[in-house]
Amino acid sequence: MSPIPLPPPSLSALFRRGPGRVGPVEADRLTADGTAVLLDVREASEWHAGHAPGAVHLPLSRLVDGASLPGRAEDRPVVVICRSGNRSRRAARVLAERGVQATDVVGGMSAWAAEGLPVRDRRGAAGTVI
């Protein structure tokens, strides 16, 4: 008998004890259906080389200096992504301290691309994760 798959966690369950973590497929689902906004916290050169379609951009360096979230992310749950998951985890903690519902993507854009999810450059063409 095969195990019964568990449903993905609800958004509220992700934030019970501070920032949660999701995989790239779940992050794509949460942001594609409008439940949350995908926030990329990599530096501009990384963003321009390749990012998830529909993501908004705010480098971690600016976020920790107190910059406001981009308009589309204000007053919304946020799923934070970077290249590998280290910066996004830090950004999710910073955002949670500000009262923002934030979770981060385990494995970042590297895992996103490995799952076959789309990556676009600044012109909308196929991008790369750097």
So which residues are the catalytic ones?
82
The answer to whether the CB of 21 falls within 8 A of the CB of 106 is: yes
Task: At 5, give phi and psi (nearest 5°).
Answer: -65, 140
User: Phi-psi region for residue 95, left (φ > 0), alpha (ψ -120 to 50) or beta?
Assistant: alpha
Q: In what order do the strands lie in the sheet with 37-40?
A: 20-22, 102-105, 78-81, 37-40, 56-57
